[in-house]
Chain A
Amino acid sequence: MTAESGAMTTPVVAVDGVSVRTRDRTILDKISLDFSARSLTAVVGPSGCGKTTFIRTLNRMAELTPGLRIQGRVLYLGQDVYDPTVNPVVVRRRMGMVFQRPTVFPASVFENAAFGLRLVRASEEEIDAAVTEALQRAGLWDEVHSHLDGPALALSGGQQQRLCIARALAVRPKVLLLDEPTSALDPAATQRVEATLQHLKEEIVVILVTHNVGQAARVSDRVAFLHSGHLVEVGATADMLERPREKLTEQFITGRFE
């Protein structure tokens, strides 16, 4: 791996030899990758290469899919999230997740943003403050502050997706996982989400799955390229996109793929 700035500090998330297999095939093959504080890593690769599976192994969502066998270690601030004494529910509360499609609940805007805090029985004052802050960080506050009690399902798709980001941020995670968060959005909404992400990477670890090289170029400081379950190459965004070392990476970046 390249010598990156900040390689000396302990990573927030360290993936150590993670493999995911079904009964008859390998979906991810011994992936090792570190994520240090205040960074945005784009995970790119052709459809079916294992991007979704990869980020779902980080917060133990992958194990909810029957038939997947997960091996290796994922360290969160030095602790293995797969340690038998660790409750997966707590892991998921520490690493927020945003999905491809907006997934708001049929409740008010406020209650959607407050969902994670209600799960841990936070006080009303704490919830009020955290919801406001999360909506601001997600870049949604100006649009919704006057109708927080309105139904979240009445928001536009782009607003709903930023509400999902706010929901994940409200519990103040140190890690945010996003699985192609803009693939269902129009260009304007995509731009707003990207602006939000650029803001967030100054504060926390953001891991962004995207099939869109342009998006990786715009928002990430590091790109990891997956191909049929292998981590082919990882490096600083500018290096990766301009001088890829691997043939496969180059083919993917130049669009001779998919």
Chain B
Amino acid sequence: MSRPVFLLGAGAHPWGKWPDAPQVQLALHALRAALGDAGLGWRDVQGLVAASSRFEGGMGWGLHANEIVQLVAEQGIACVNVGGACAAGAIAFSTAHAMIASGQYDVVAAVGAERMPKGFIPRPPGSQDDIGDEDYLRWVTMGATNPAYWAIEARRRMHDHGTRPETFARAAVLMRSNAAGNPYARFRQPSTVAEVLASPLVADPLHLLEICPVSDGAAAVILVSHEIARRCGGRPVEVAGCAIASGAFGDPARRIPTISATVRPGVTHTSEVAGAVERAMSIAGIGPADVDVLEMADNTAWHLLAWPELFGMHAPGESDHLLETGKLAIGAGRLAINPSGGFLSFGEATTAQALMQVCEIAWQIRGEATGRQVPDARVGMTAVLGLGANGGSVILKR
């Protein structure tokens, strides 16, 4: 048996490059903001779930929750540290949610904080250099970069749906346009289709401004039971559904870093994310048409076209037309996509990104997203993908 869970606080540190702020400082900033938003203090927190980074902090073992409580609140609370690469924030959310839904806890915080290394992400220590390690294989046999995987999907979309280079560029322009109103976004200058197409081709058909860079940032949420939500007042938002999933056998997606796919007919593309979304919608008792605002992982412009189709919000191939006729802009159509500006305007701070998505949806549902508010947003959804075929989705509703 489970009980309802409410998001009572959301907080974040703006995205950017912060060489002078250690990762844990970004995390504490986000947690302080989330606790302030909830009207709670550290003494009220009974559990902390951290999305573990492999780049910094966590005592070298991914113990980011422990590191945080040892700095600010050594009070015997449950510390949970979860992996999941770029989906770790969604897994942290889902874990915190389960801790409250189970009845064991009434106030649990989830946090993700990241400072990304410069340039290409280095391989972790202890990797094997043999055919058992696909990351090793993709580098030494063909040098396939992450943008190459996404570009191969984008090229296939051009073949299947007639997507034009200008349409990919327009998706990137939309993200900048949305980000202009978001103080948490890193890249807020408006762009044009011509500028995007004039940026260097990284991997055809994708240009530099159609691919997300990396950033530093942190985000946190405070989840509570119904009793606490009622007692504290504040502005609780109900968690209508949340789910995590892994990939399905036969998925045709170009899954980084694999160099081959075993493809079976009828299996959903990017099944880890589509599966999480489907499960979250089922728990929430809603369908794709009920979602007013979607915060999704736009690692590239291609994702912005493909994913809403994958989730059933647009028919296959329909995104291009909706985008080109302005229907995906805030307030212009039935679904707003990434009013925050998305990964393209944030740059990805891997383990923090999914919690930033949840914060944005919370602000949207409460009507607090000044400068980028989706009018009358009642149902909001997040969708994120992480290495290892990890998918996560959270649905908040008014």
User: Do A and B bind?
Assistant: no
